[in-house]
């Protein structure tokens, strides 16, 4: 039998316990969590886009231009000391930008240093920033673990949990999950010829409010979305980075393709999924073809 609560008139007042010392000026209390720029999980991600000011470039003396080219080749190099863990430079067709640089790694200062070094180079006065996007890699909350995947097999696909098929599928998924999550958090940029990048958010207007949908429904929609993308395995590689509270959009999407047509096809086909058709908001799309730094400078006539 449960004990009845004490009467308010007879209850013994709790013993007062000393609290933390008062903080002045909204100064945060001390915490055991370390203060660091290194993400707890994942890498910093930075996309930079530039236009070349031809008049400013022409005004730079030829000897300084040559020195500036040498500097930029070194700045964008993958193997130099202090370089970000991953870096790609790419030429951009059209008028949105002339070229872009994408970097990832645990050291925010190393990533930021590339941006600063480009602007501080001898050719910096001719480089006009047109767009940038900062984000951090993450594992989506909608990526199921092995147990959740088993539930999907049972409840949505009707697979008998006692069958060999069920055990085989769950084990295969569990074996893939570790490498997949590692690639999501610490992506190795592929040696493929082209990429596209775009920022996106989820709709939050009236009945089209993603965040008012039950988690189970959101998970089902994202599972459908993931199945659409799996059709392009081996043709397109994707990294989703999180930017809520860090930039103007909620996520950045980077797609590498073995062919430009694959990038077009995957974005088109996935727009029919409910998660995109009803709830997705897209920012500007940037397409580029990836080049080594020396070839990039030649391609954009820098």
**Whole-number Å distance between alpha carbons of 239 and 183:** 8
Q: What is the largest CA-CA distance in the chain?
A: 92
Residues 20, 29 contacting (CB under 8 angstroms): yes
Cα separation, 240 vs 218, in Å, equals: 17
Structure tokens at 14: 């709790």
The first and second tokens of residue 208, run together, are: 């089209």
Q: Which two tokens stand for residue 236?
A: 């397109």
Residue 238, classed as helix, strand or coil, is strand
CB 196 within 8 A of CB 265: no
Give the rounded distance of the alpha carbon of 4 from its chain centre.
Answer: 54
Active site residues: 198
Tokens of 148: 């959740």
Measure the CA–CA gap between 187 and 87, rounded to whole angstroms. Answer: 11
What are the residues whose beta carbons fall under 8 Å from the beta carbon of 195, sequence distance 6 or more? 88, 90, 102, 254, 255, 256, 257, 263, 287, 288, 290
């Amino acid at each position: 039998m449960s004990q009845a609560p004490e009467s308010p008139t007879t209850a013994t007042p709790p013993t007062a316990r000393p609290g933390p010392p008062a903080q002045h000026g909204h100064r945060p209390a001390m915490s055991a969590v370390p203060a660091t720029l290194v993400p707890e999980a994942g890498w910093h991600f930075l996309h930079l886009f530039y236009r070349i000011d031809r008049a400013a470039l022409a005004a730079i003396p030829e000897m300084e231009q040559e020195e500036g080219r040498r500097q930029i080749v070194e700045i964008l190099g993958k193997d130099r000391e202090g370089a970000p863990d991953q870096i790609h430079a790419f030429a951009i067709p059209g008028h949105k930008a002339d070229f872009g640089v994408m970097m990832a790694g645990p050291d925010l200062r190393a990533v930021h240093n590339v941006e600063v070094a480009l602007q501080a180079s001898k050719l910096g006065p001719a480089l006009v920033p047109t767009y940038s996007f900062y984000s951090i890699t993450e594992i989506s909350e909608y990526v199921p673990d092995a147990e959740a995947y088993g539930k999907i097999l049972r409840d949505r696909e009707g697979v008998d949990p006692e069958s060999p098929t069920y055990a085989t599928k769950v084990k295969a998924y569990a074996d893939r999950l570790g490498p997949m999550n590692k690639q999501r958090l610490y992506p190795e940029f592929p040696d493929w010829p082209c990429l596209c990048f775009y920022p996106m958010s989820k709709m939050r207007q009236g009945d089209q409010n993603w965040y008012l949908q039950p988690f189970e429904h959101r998970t089902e929609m994202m599972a459908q979305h993931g199945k659409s993308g799996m059709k392009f395995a081996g043709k397109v590689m994707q990294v989703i980075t999180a930017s809520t509270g860090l930039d103007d959009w909620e996520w950045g999407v980077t797609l590498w393709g073995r062919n430009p047509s694959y990038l077009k096809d995957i974005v088109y086909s996935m727009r029919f999924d409910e998660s995109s058709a009803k709830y997705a908001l897209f920012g500007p799309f940037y397409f580029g073809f990836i080049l080594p730094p020396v070839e990039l400078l030649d391609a954009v006539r820098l």
